[in-house]
Structure 1
Amino acid sequence: MTRNVLIADKEYVSSQVLSDVGRAARDHADAVTAGAIAFPSHWSRFTVTIAGGGQSITIAPGELWKGDAIYSLEAAVDVGILDYLPPVGNEKWIAILAQPSNQTTRNRSAKVRTGIDPENPQPATQSVVGEEVRLVEFVVQQGTQAAPGSAAKPTVPESSCAVVYILLSGAGAQAIEPAVSDKVKSLYDVDGRLMALEVRVDALFQRVTGIETDLSALKGAIPKIIRPEIITQLQGGLARVEQLLGIPTNYVARFFDPGLTTEEWDESQAEWLADVREGVKFPKIAASDNRMELLDDASPDIKIKDGVLLPAWTEERLLDVTGSGGTRDISQQTHTVTTANTGTISRSSVEYGPTVKLCENTKEYANLGASAYLENFKTASGETFQNLGKTDNPWNDTEHAIGHSEFRARQVIQRSWSETYTYYTTQSYGVNGSVYGQTWLNSQERILTSLELDFARAGSGDVHVFLCQVNSSGTPDFDTTICKGTILAADIQTGWVKCEFRPTLLEAGKRYGWFTVTTGNHALRTVTGNKYAQGSLFWSTDGAWAQGSPTEDFAFRLNVAKFSTTRLVVEFAPLTLTGGMTEFHFTYAGWEPGGTRLPWEYAPKRTGLPDVWHPFSTDDNSPLRDVPDTCRIRAVFEGTTDLMPSIQIDNTARHRAYRRGPELVAISEDQTFGLGTTSIITETVMDDFDPAIHTVTPRVMVGGTVYDADTVTEIDDDYPESERVKLRASFTVPSTSSARYRLEVSSSSVIDQCFAETVAMFAF
């Protein structure tokens, strides 16, 4: 007690002095309550019981501690709850709140002096102010009624003191829960908790000591730990090596794809909206597909033989094997049925589309730097591009560009596959008769048009003549023929008789053969002494095995095409696409031997403007930027008087026009990592990227759920040109052992469109 009221000896004690004694004691208790205990609004000693059959509650005496004062309940009190009961079938929580009462004083009866004579005080009993009291009253705060089991307790303000929570039903009070958080904690309670805490603190000190030891060891090991960026680089490099070598990649924590084929992409996804070819591109939303038709197929400047289009030609003799000798019956062997499979001419594809810029250090295009200007080169997956030389990027002039130079691959992507003649599509001929033939070495690349045979005797029956390849043993390969001709019996007479073929390209340095199949009693003249030593005469007794003659050859003449011009322009029917086109794609059979060229040109049709012919080039200011509906198309045949390219005019020769859309959604196959992870990183290399036009959003899919990236960072990874960027995205997903890579791109232009050059996904 900080203040003590002193009373002197023989002092008349007044009522004020005695009141000060009590007030000093109470002020001291208030100071301790506010300064040392300091419960803002808490209760102590209250107990609550259900009374009146659940219609009321009884609160036993206790105290309310509020700030610097203590308020008391001196006698038990009943609180009715009948008015708060919810309807039958519902429940509701209520809170009983303790708060100070308005009553502050209390009177009592006492004898009071009424007279003024000290000798005669005249005492009388009167009611006087006897006590200042602090009492507690209780209020009810209601919650919201709800179905049984779902009712919530009411929210009590921080300045209020909740004593208990009572669960009510239509029948009355059902349960009581003390508001423990608002109860005054006694020293006994605090001591018990402190002892438990001391035990935990002792254990904590021991664990902290162990952690400090571990951290010291970890500090020494940190310089040896590989950085996450290095792990990502290693994962990406290993994925490229696996892709190049064709190593099976099941159950690995990485996925890499150069976007050259659809092998790793799931086109069956409902949201799929992409085209995977030389990168992941925007999808084609409009297309036209028409057969190649000549604008003037009766022009005297061209010649079409069995569908093979060439500049007009006449025949000249390439090989003449004549001289003295004997004759050979070509029907003297036992007749057999020979099946000759005639192959188709090799096929080509020409595409005009978005600019493709490549870096020679990209493994998918490792052959780029070693190829010459305008030379075709193959990618790791076998796709063919044409090298148009280095770009004008200043990076190419620096010493750092050695082995990392940037090139352009032809925007016109030209592909040709197989050798001159393939056997994917064949036509079988079953012919009955004797089989005789002759082989020769072709020393000059020319276009064969006909073969002449010297008949010594003319019998009855047609003579079937086949041009074929020669197998490794030097004998005619009867099963793989290049072309077929027939000499009708009515046209056979003694002397030289011509058999015409479809124009056929003979490659220099290769051996070829011709053979006849007939049942007619015909005879051909031979030349003795092996005048033409580079080949041999053959005959077959069973239609499969051939026996050669070491002393004689058949007399024969080979005729080839002789062209009157070295350059010819041939126009085809125009391409049309409603709404406009941004790309071409031509597919046709034919050949383009070394020393010849078959470039294509186009002229967009514009209202009120003359038609201007443009070569297929890599110029970014392409005439197709206007998205024309119609384009004139022409092919330029360039060669020599001896050799020219050709086009096979048939149903497989197609002109296609496309227009791409502004939205791209590509989803990979589900990639199994072989481990569980919640952290995934993707890397996407975008080419022809313009941030003002394109929006790229890498995502991942786990199951059917799509997850956005936590962060997307642009990585400077030896990409010297601003149009090529690498985007690294980090994802946090639920624990999973597999995921799909998902790429979403939008463009504000159907002409200026980017594409994904390579994509990768790594699990960590």
Structure 2
Amino acid sequence: MENKIIFHANIDDDPTDFTRLQDFAEASLDHVVLDGISDLTKYTGFGVTKSAVTQISVAPGRLYSAGKVYSSGSTAWSKDFITQLPVAGKKIACIVSWGSESDTDVRPRQFLINAETRQAEPQAVPLVHARVANLNVVIGNEAPDPVAPLVDVGYTVIAQVVLTPTGVDTIKMIEDNKLPSVQRHEERIIDLETFEETAGLQIKTLSTDIAALKQAANRGEVDQATMGRTLTRLAVLESKNGVLYTAIDSSANFFLDHSKSKLDDPLSHAKVEEGIRMPAAAEGVSALSIFNPLDPNATIKNGLMLPSYTREAWLQSGSISGEVQVAAYSVSSFDMVQKTIARQRIRYGNEFIVCTNSLWWQTGQFDGVSRFFRAGEIYEVLNPGEAWGHSWMRVRQIWIDTYDEAYWDKITTTTTVTGTQIAETWLQGQNMWLDAVGVCFTRLAASGSAHIAIVEVSDYGLPNLKQCIAQTTLLRENMKLNAETVVPLQPTYLSAGKRYALVITTAADHWVAVVPGQQFTQGTFFYVLDGAYAQGDAFKDLWMRLYRCKFNTARAVITLNPLQLPGGILAIDLIAGTIIPDGTSLTYEIQVGSQWFNLIDVDKYMLGQGGTIPPLLPLRAVYMGSVDCMPGLNLIDSSVHVSRPDVYAQHVTTTRTLPAPSTQIRVIERYEGFDPIYHTASCKLLTGAPGFGTQVSPSSVSTFIDPNDGAYERTYVFNLGAAVTQYRVLTRTDTSTNQRVFHVGWQKDYAL
């Protein structure tokens, strides 16, 4: 109570004090209702029932309005519609309530009129001040399909009664005007919490998923398989372009790989990279690393660098209803083959002029996966028919090659674990980074660890141990009994639309909690019998909780250690394990002077501008996404090759063997980015097998300038004195400055 009356010993009685005592209590209660319950007009009780054919009964109730509580009393209120029934159609009658205050319970009481003689006389006075909830009916017009009558704003509609010519038809309570109780709120909160533990956590990321779907749809406008078949046919036509029908043999080289280049020849001094290009005059290699290990914008776990984040529960399989003994199933040895994060390659510099031959990656004649490996690395394409999982972008001064899958099997590690194994699958609804999993052990053996793994699910629904993407060992001392055990993982990217499985393998007698099968309909519980997964159990699922990375911001800038090369840097070649989900981006910026420039901003190319070649370049990574999903960068699997090109290149082809001797050889080469003010190019034949020590100059040279892009196409005519069956082609390119380079886009040769 906010105020109270103070009574003192031997004080005289004042009737107003007793009235004020009630007023204070009433005002305090009104404030509680107004501030803590509702300041709107609501009702409770007033249950309307049909008590006779034409009659209704309204139970006692209360009306809450502007903090005041009005009561209808302790007896039911009734209404007979016998005189108000419609003639042929229907009517809607609204039961309404409104509050009023009145003085009631009038009784005679003795009032003292003479204090000395104690004379009194009776007077009839009200003894109760009541707040009354009045009830009445507002009846609408008759119609075949009637509408509710208009009710003034001062009235609260409790129920609508539909009347027919025979009496009361239906009664509908107006729930929107009913004051919900605390118990009702509690029930709704429980329902919301249950929803939050399952689907609610996934709905939080819908905005990110919608953006990803839009981006994926835009990328899918052109079918790559169709484009590949088209370019294959064009490649055949192009390789025959200009070749006389009398030619005994012909060849075309697009310089997308080294298969037709003899790079170990003493005369060779070239880089074959989507064309013949100037090799490096100076170069250096280093790994990406963070400049400040305590950078608050970054989180690094086992070399994987993400923007800073917090751990948040994302998915729970249900409520615990039982347990299962892991050791009840067969003991086997399992080979877990862990895939690694796929790579992205970014090349930046003036030497990376877009070459027309890059389109021939799509033909399938060249191994595009080779672009993601460093010099000296060995890899094997196990499924060459499916080696299309990469995309590329070629714009002025920057090339970007991206492997489309988040994890690849080009570089793997194999771990063998022994014990009994269970697994639970689920359908991944959103792109996200998994940071931890939670399981519940209901019984624990005295000793024995557990192997926890996240694997992809095969096309036929079974956990695929050959496609493991995360694994760790859970020690016995870290297991909790009858409580959730949260198992931290290296952040692992999960793709929307794919199925994954949580796999638990242990040689100890541990028991885990399960949930009813009908609670978790998007997953299946598996166990191993006789070394293979048995058919899924439809009656139970493993209790598990998945935790995602919730990022602190939608954009993060993380400073990396600078790039260095004595004498200056004119080219950057960056390869790193990178995951860039749909709807996100990861770019790099370099600092020249006091200003930062993004590598993908081709209109602001800065290396070597003004004649100054920077020997040191500050570098930073720019992450863009949302709090739900961000790119990831694997610092351990990264390298940055910085260089500046030489001023000349020499390229020697592998030996060309003709089916018959010839004295007339024609070589056509395309020079892209060629400027005769700075550049020169020449071509010779190497003959005299097996050493090929004789250099033969062309008998004549003709040049055609492509009107579309200004490229120079030169035809070299070699009329030999003696017929040859074998030869090599020596190409030389020169530039007067390494800040202006060009390349050989393709080379064709044929013999007559």
Query: Smaller-chain TM-score range?
Result: 0.5 to 0.7
Q: For residue 620 of structure 2, what is the aligned residue in structure 1?
A: 634
Q: For residue 535 of structure 1, what is the aligned residue in structure 2?
A: 523
Of the three residues 700, 704, 713, the one matched with 1:715 is 704
1:380 and 1:616 map into 2 onto residues whose CA distance is 29
2:266 and 2:664 map into 1 onto residues whose CA distance is 26
Q: For residue 41 of structure 2, what is the aligned residue in structure 1?
A: none
Deviations 1:321-368 (A, max 9, x none): 122532111122232222212221111111113365658xx675279x
Q: For residue 190 of structure 1, what is the aligned residue in structure 2?
A: none
TM-score, normalization: structure 1?
A: 0.60
Q: For residue 681 of structure 1, what is the aligned residue in structure 2?
A: 666
1:753 and 1:729 map into 2 onto residues whose CA distance is 22
Q: State the shift of 1:252 in Å.
A: 6.2
The letter of the residue matching 1:592 is I
Give the 3 Å change call, closer, same or farther, for CA 630–746 of structure 1 in structure 2. same
Superposed, which structure 2 residues align to 1:479-490 within 5 Å?
A: 479-490=466-477
2:555 and 2:314 map into 1 onto residues whose CA distance is 22
Q: For residue 19 of structure 2, what is the aligned residue in structure 1?
A: none
Secondary structure of the equivalent of 2:256?
coil
Give the 3 Å change call, closer, same or farther, for CA 544–277 of structure 1 in structure 2. farther
The letter of the residue matching 1:470 is V
Q: For residue 158 of structure 1, what is the aligned residue in structure 2?
A: none
Superposed, which structure 2 residues align to 1:139-288 within 5 Å?
A: 240=236, 253-288=249-284
1:663 and 1:747 map into 2 onto residues whose CA distance is 6
Q: For residue 365 of structure 1, what is the aligned residue in structure 2?
A: 359
Q: For residue 759 of structure 1, what is the aligned residue in structure 2?
A: 747
Secondary structure of the equivalent of 1:590?
strand
Q: For residue 456 of structure 2, what is the aligned residue in structure 1?
A: 469
CA contact (8 A) 1:681 1:729 kept: yes
Deviations 1:563-593 (A, max 9, x none): 1111111111111111112100111112011
Q: State the shift of 1:601 in Å.
A: 1.0
Q: For residue 435 of structure 1, what is the aligned residue in structure 2?
A: 421
2:490 and 2:743 map into 1 onto residues whose CA distance is 43
Backbone CA RMSD of aligned residues:
2.7
Of the three residues 402, 421, 424, the one matched with 2:407 is 421
Give the 3 Å change call, closer, same or farther, for CA 640–378 of structure 1 in structure 2. farther
Give the 3 Å change call, closer, same or farther, for CA 620–752 of structure 1 in structure 2. farther
Give the 3 Å change call, closer, same or farther, for CA 660–504 of structure 1 in structure 2. same
Q: For residue 10 of structure 1, what is the aligned residue in structure 2?
A: none
Of the three residues 738, 741, 749, the one matched with 2:737 is 749
Secondary structure of the equivalent of 2:536?
strand
2:273 and 2:458 map into 1 onto residues whose CA distance is 37
1:315 and 1:759 map into 2 onto residues whose CA distance is 56
Of the three residues 650, 659, 675, the one matched with 1:665 is 650
Q: State the shift of 1:379 in Å.
A: 8.4
Identity over aligned residues, as a percent?
24
Q: For residue 729 of structure 1, what is the aligned residue in structure 2?
A: 716
CA contact (8 A) 2:324 2:512 kept: yes
Q: For residue 74 of structure 1, what is the aligned residue in structure 2?
A: none
Of the three residues 300, 304, 307, the one matched with 1:308 is 304
CA contact (8 A) 1:435 1:543 kept: no
Of the three residues 695, 699, 710, the one matched with 1:706 is 695
Q: State the shift of 1:522 in Å.
A: 1.3
2:277 and 2:681 map into 1 onto residues whose CA distance is 12
Superposed, which structure 2 residues align to 1:264-663 within 5 Å?
A: 264-354=260-350, 365=359, 381=366, 383=368, 409-417=395-403, 419-459=405-445, 460-492=447-479, 493-604=481-592, 610-619=594-603, 622-625=606-609, 626-650=612-636, 652-663=637-648
The letter of the residue matching 1:670 is T
Deviations 1:680-699 (A, max 9, x none): 11111111100010110022
1:408 and 1:335 map into 2 onto residues whose CA distance is 53
Q: State the shift of 1:598 in Å.
A: 0.7
CA contact (8 A) 1:681 1:762 kept: yes
CA contact (8 A) 2:235 2:360 kept: no
Q: For residue 740 of structure 1, what is the aligned residue in structure 2?
A: 728
- Shifted more, 255-264 versus 522-531: the winner is 522-531
Secondary structure of the equivalent of 1:331?
helix
Deviations 1:684-724 (A, max 9, x none): 111110001011002221232111111111124x54233x1
2:409 and 2:747 map into 1 onto residues whose CA distance is 36
Secondary structure of the equivalent of 2:608?
helix
Secondary structure of the equivalent of 2:477?
helix
Secondary structure of the equivalent of 1:461?
coil
2:288 and 2:334 map into 1 onto residues whose CA distance is 35
1:408 and 1:483 map into 2 onto residues whose CA distance is 33
2:667 and 2:502 map into 1 onto residues whose CA distance is 59
Q: For residue 38 of structure 1, what is the aligned residue in structure 2?
A: none
Deviations 1:395-424 (A, max 9, x none): xxxxxxxxxxxx962522122236222233
2:717 and 2:443 map into 1 onto residues whose CA distance is 85
CA contact (8 A) 1:526 1:555 kept: yes
Q: State the shift of 1:239 in Å.
A: 6.8
The letter of the residue matching 1:491 is N
Deviations 1:602-628 (A, max 9, x none): 123xxxx53544534434853334222
Q: For residue 59 of structure 1, what is the aligned residue in structure 2?
A: none
Secondary structure of the equivalent of 1:675?
strand
1:279 and 1:696 map into 2 onto residues whose CA distance is 14
CA contact (8 A) 2:348 2:599 kept: no
2:248 and 2:326 map into 1 onto residues whose CA distance is 65
The letter of the residue matching 1:661 is D
The letter of the residue matching 1:580 is G
Give the 3 Å change call, closer, same or farther, for CA 510–621 of structure 1 in structure 2. closer
Unaligned runs of 5+ in 1: 1-235, 245-250, 368-376, 387-406
Deviations 1:139-165 (A, max 9, x none): xxxxxxxxxxxxxxxxxxxxxxxxxxx
Give the 3 Å change call, closer, same or farther, for CA 698–379 of structure 1 in structure 2. farther
2:338 and 2:419 map into 1 onto residues whose CA distance is 18
Q: State the shift of 1:425 in Å.
A: 2.7
CA contact (8 A) 2:256 2:358 kept: no
CA contact (8 A) 2:318 2:520 kept: no
Unaligned runs of 5+ in 2: 1-231, 241-246, 372-392
Q: State the shift of 1:428 in Å.
A: 2.4
1:514 and 1:466 map into 2 onto residues whose CA distance is 6
Deviations 1:225-270 (A, max 9, x none): xxxxxxxxxxx999745989xxxxxx96112111111111001110
Q: State the shift of 1:283 in Å.
A: 0.9
1:612 and 1:347 map into 2 onto residues whose CA distance is 25
